[in-house]
Amino acid sequence: MLIGLISDTHIPDRARQIPEKVLESFKDVDLIIHSGDLTTRAVIDELEKIAPVIAIQGNMDRVAGLDLPKAETVEVEGVKIGVAHGEVYPRGDTQQLLYLARQLDVNILVTGHSHQPKIEQVEDVLLLNPGSPIVPRLADRTVMLLEINNKNVDVEIVKIGAPVCSALDFTQYPRD
């Protein structure tokens, strides 16, 4: 099974739509997992045109009033996957994320929040963060492809575009 992983899209507050390259990257996936900070249900609607979507609530989704679960689990070909936004501080702290994976009793934990892609094996848990295809932090714009085949796991970071310094993003200042 091929799964598209995405997080921190922040639409429409930080971009008007999901980048076309994301949709192209996900064209063959069987499932899409969004690990929070969608900020509008329209993101789910757009992604569901490609494949079924599992989406959870991020901190900015609460601000936007988006009612989604705080965490989800799904089993794919005998591998248990947990999804949470990953609101731990410092952001991306592996020990706290490992603890969260243990709470969810999963083999793989997919999170977001840091806006930085990460693939890290900690003990018997694979921690994945697809980064952000819209507003990365000191990283490229990214999503991930997770392939699970007979309990074999392969993960690929897919670069969607170049890093963005918000101070140089002049699209936020529309011209008359």
DSSP state of 82: E
Residues 43 and 23: beta-carbon distance below 8 Å: no
In angstroms, the CA 39 to CA 130 distance is 17
pLDDT tens profile 8-49: 999 998 889 999 999 999 999 999 999 999 999 999 999 999
Tell me, yes or no, if the pTM score tops 0.75. yes
Q: What is the mean pLDDT of the chain?
A: 93
Higher pLDDT, 61 or 162: 61
* CA nearest neighbour of 106 among 78, 130, 86: 78
Identify any residues that bridge with 83 across adjacent strands, giving them in sequence order: 72, 110
pLDDT tens profile 116-128: 999 999 999 999 9
